[in-house]
A and B are shown apart, each in its own frame.
Chain A
Amino acid sequence: MKPARFAYAAPDSIEGVLDALDRFGDEAKVLSGGQSLVPMMNFRLARPEVIVDIGRVGGLDGMSVVNGSLTVGARVIHARLEAPAAAMPDGRTEPLGGVLGSLLPEVARFVGHLPIRARGTFGGSIAHADPAAEWCILARTLDAEMVALRRGGERVITAADFFETVFTTSLEPEELLAAVRLPILGDDWRAGFCEFSRRAGDFAVVAAMTAVRLDRATGAISEARIGVGGVAGVPVRLPDAEATLVGEVPGAELHAAAAEVAAGEVDPAGDLHGSAAYRRDLVRAMVARALAQGAGAPG
Chain B
Amino acid sequence: MTEISPADVAVPVVLRVNGTDHRVSAEPRRTLADTLREECGLTGTHLGCEHGVCGACTVLLDGEPVRSCLLFAVQAQGAEIRTVEGLAGDDGTLHPLQEAFWRHHGLQCGFCTPGFLMLSTGVLETRPDIGDDELREALSSNLCRCTGYQTIVEAVRSVRDAAGA
Contact = CB atoms under 8 A, between A and B. Distances in A.
A118 B64 contact: yes
Contacts of B17: none
Interface string B1-40: 1111111100000000000000000011101001000000
B74 A10 contact: yes
B28 A6 contact: yes
Contact of B27 (A5, A39, A42): A5
Contacts, number: 105
B104 to A, nearest CB: 21
B150 interface: no
A113 B140 contact: yes
Given A5-B29, A10-B74, A43 B3 contact: no
Interface stretch (B48-56, B83-91, B106-114): B48-56
Nearest to B70: A38
B7 A119 contact: no
B46 to A, nearest CB: 15
B28 A119 contact: no
**Most chain A beta carbons < 10 A, residue from B29, B64, B70:** B70
B58 A8 contact: no
Interface string B89-124: 000000000000000000000000000000100010
A42 B50 contact: yes
B29 A34 contact: no
Interface string A220-249: 000000000000000000000000000000
Interface string A23-61: 000000001001100110111000001110101000000
B146 interface: no
Contacts of A51: 28
Contacts of B28: 5-8, 51
A246 B58 CA distance: 48
Contacts of B50: 1-2, 42
Interface string B53-75: 00100100100111101111011
B51 A43 contact: yes
A261 to B, nearest CB: 34
A115 interface: yes
Interface of A: 1-11, 16, 19-20, 31, 34-35, 38-39, 41-43, 49-51, 53, 55, 113-116, 118-119, 199-201
Given A6-B29, A115-B64, A200-B137, 4 more contacts: A7-B28, A10-B2, A10-B75, A118-B64
26 contacts: A1-B50, A6-B29, A8-B74, A9-B5, A10-B74, A11-B2, A19-B2, A20-B4, A31-B75, A34-B75, A35-B67, A38-B52, A38-B69, A38-B70, A39-B51, A41-B29, A42-B51, A50-B4, A53-B74, A113-B55, A113-B141, A114-B123, A115-B67, A115-B119, A118-B65, A119-B66
